[in-house]
Amino acid sequence: MKTLLGALLLFVYSVGYSQSNCKPYVPVTKGTTWEITSYSPKDKVTGTVSYELLDVVITDNESVFSIRATTHDKKGEQTYVNEYNAKCVDGKFEFDMSFMIDGEAMEAYKDMDVDVDASEFEVPSMDAEAGTILKDGNLTVKVGSSGMTIFKMVVKIEATSKEWYAENVGIVRSESYNKKGKLTGYDVLTKLVVK
């Protein structure tokens, strides 16, 4: 009976995703957890981010994946918790740019009012040609107290990254380089537990 139920659930997910012609680059089973570990260029652990797929909502033209991200520093101490969405919309897969928030940087503002304005970041088709230009993503963070904005953080970063994705899993490795092409760090998928 469990095998039949599992096959039916897999069929339902396949039908849902095929309706939108989208390949999701996050886990697709509610309750799945995974972890990305960050390293310095000299292979020292600089922190981790633990993720959990909280919910999946599928409609005719889109699938929305609700995700919780919990950031830990290099000592394993929790520094920030963030929730964001990833979506399959009309055949395109995109993330809410708030997934890029630096959890350690936000720790200093944990007792303040934080307002995040994030655009969508589109993951290009794996069939895209080299040189394809992607639309810019924007992330604005306002920090305030008692309704007054203390400062607004708009960070413009000139950098390059290389990323490797697996369908129904997400990012498995990324490498970051400064504008001179020097490696500044890398991230690796170090844990994946499918419920």
CATH of the domain at 140: 2.40.360
Structurally, how many domains does the chain consist of?
A: 1
| 98-104 long-range contacts, CB within 8 A, separation 24+ | 98/139, 99/67, 99/69, 100/137, 100/139, 101/139, 101/141, 102/71, 103/47, 103/49, 103/69, 103/70, 103/71, 103/72, 103/79, 104/47, 104/71, 104/73, 104/79, 104/80
Average pLDDT over residues 77-86: 88
User: What residue numbers bound the domain in which 90 lies?
Assistant: 2-193
pTM over 0.75: no
pLDDT digits (tens, 9 = 90+) for 4-41: 333 333 433 443 444 447 788 899 999 999 999 999 99
